[in-house]
Structure 1
Amino acid sequence: MARFSGATWKPIAINHKKGGQDSVQGVVVHIMAGTLPGTDSWFRNPKAQASSHFGTGKDGRLWQWVDTADRAWAQAGGNRTWLSIENEGEGGDALTSAQMDRCAEVLAWAHKTHGVPLQVASSPSGRGLGYHAMGGKAWGSHPLCPGSRIIAQLPEIVKRAKALIGEKPKPSGYEPFPGAAWFKKNPRSPVVTAMGKRLVAVGCSAYQSGPGPQWTDADKASYAKWQRKNGYRGIDADGWPGKATWDALKVPRTS
């Protein structure tokens, strides 16, 4: 028996297979095309022939209909090895932040309870946080479930699940954006030197070192050249680093 204490237990007597969960590869995200109470009512109808382990409401409610030792009827050929979570909303919707939090809580619980890895899955052979459409014909041919906007949110859900279990994100090999004010205060820093070297490496040779690491007019001119070279225009090519352009430049870490 496996019930998540963070969910409201709403057991259904039909539309699932008792003890039928063979294993757990991950959690599949769905969109209801309806409301949480409406879906609850449908799962109790013998005509539905459908169910889900979990469901979220836009307001952050989390319900569990089927024990994860049992097989819910949510994604056809994926039912044997995947858990399911339906989300209140219509096709084309994005999940609310509260819904993402609840999905993250389910994923973190599935990680601890069933060994589900905290990663995005993109095919039925993968493991982690998947989505209904990835199963194709074998999963009932639902190309619009849960929709592109929700699929784009899956990495954020994984990130939140990792935070829940205390896993810290691994730092990238690049300097994080220090904020626009940091440059306007003309700091002396190895980060500026690393930025200058990076600008030279990508062909913006206007960079010239000032008297020690600092933000100079030459740096600004070189950065503006790089911005224009990469298609930025107007205020986005004014020579001042913004988060988007800084992240795209990929300045190597200095420490």
Structure 2
Amino acid sequence: MARFSGASWRPIPINHTKNGQESVRGVVVHIMDGTLSGTDSWFRNPDAQASSHFGTGRNGQLFQWVDTAHRAWAQAGGNRTWLSVENEGRGGDALTSAQIDRCAEVLAWAHKVHGVPLQVASSPSGKGLGYHAMGGKGWGGHSMCPGVKVVAQLAEIVKRAKVLTGAKPTGYQPFPGADWFKKEPKSAVVTAMGKRLVAVGCSAYKTGPGPQWTAADRESFRKWQRKLGDAPAYCDGWPGKKQWDALKVPRVS
């Protein structure tokens, strides 16, 4: 049995698998496309065939619907090994600061109880704080859940969770300089950058980012420049300090 004392316990009698949680790789962030109260009612409807372990309201409410010993029905193929947190809002919304705090509390609790690492995950094979769309078709094909604005907030959720657990934040990777990229480096820094570009919805990768700077890295960074609203002439795919700092690449040791 695992219930978070910081959440209002609102158990649902249906739409979940008792004692079905096989392991816990991390916590998956969702957007409700509705309200907290509406989602609470929907999860109690047998026609829903859906549920979540946790849910946040935009004003800072936190519900727990399903004990983490049980399997919630939130992300199809990811249900057996991931916990879930739904967030009040519509597609395209960002989370409120209060919601970020609640998600951080859930992650910090999952870290203590289930050993979830305090890091952002970008694929089902990872561990940490993930998001629904990262699971692709195997997770129901919800490519817009929770949306790019929420995905961009995952690092802040992790940061706040680290404060709650007393973990020392790792900070962000300093800009290595424009010339560094043009020399075609092979480095974990490039991989870390690529993972962040995927997380913010700016991927041009076919098989995922790697340690070698490639044309796919440059095209992905070009998408990031466009996303930031840079003038077309400056969207050349070569990282500059301003764009790099905004991307918030985790520090590589």
Counterpart-to-counterpart distance in 2, 1:55 and 1:8:
10
Partner of 1:78: 78
* Equivalent residue runs for 1:55-204 within 5 Å: 55-170=55-170
So what's the TM-score if we normalise by structure 2? 0.69
Gap regions ≥5 residues in structure 2: 181-229, 231-240, 247-253
Distance 1:169-1:92 versus aligned 2 partners, 3 A rule: same
Distance 1:126-1:19 versus aligned 2 partners, 3 A rule: same
For 2:89, give the aligned amino acid. G
Partner of 1:14: 14
Structure 1 runs (4+) deviating above 3 angstroms are: 170-175, 243-248
For 2:143, give the aligned amino acid. P
For 1:166, give the aligned amino acid. G
Counterpart-to-counterpart distance in 1, 2:129 and 2:243:
30
Deviations along 1:210-251, one digit per CA (max 9) or x if unpaired, are: xxxxxxxxxxxxxxxxxxxxxx9xxxxxxxxxx959969xxx
Deviations along 1:140-159, one digit per CA (max 9) or x if unpaired, are: 11000000000000001000
Counterpart secondary structure, 1:85: strand
Counterpart secondary structure, 2:85: strand
Deviations along 1:63-121, one digit per CA (max 9) or x if unpaired, are: 00000000000000000000000000000000000000000000000000000000000
Counterpart-to-counterpart distance in 2, 1:113 and 1:60:
22
Partner of 1:32: 32
Query: Greater CA radius of gyration, 1 or 2?
Result: 1
Counterpart secondary structure, 1:105: helix
Deviation at 1:167, TM superposition (A): 1.4
Deviation at 1:172, TM superposition (A): 6.1
Counterpart-to-counterpart distance in 2, 1:33 and 1:99:
15
Partner of 1:46: 46
Counterpart-to-counterpart distance in 1, 2:48 and 2:168:
42
% identical equivalent positions? 77
Gap regions ≥5 residues in structure 1: 176-197, 202-231, 233-242, 249-255
For 1:18, give the aligned amino acid. K
Counterpart secondary structure, 1:156: helix
For 2:96, give the aligned amino acid. T
So what's the TM-score if we normalise by structure 1? 0.68
Aligned residues: 185
Counterpart secondary structure, 2:109: helix
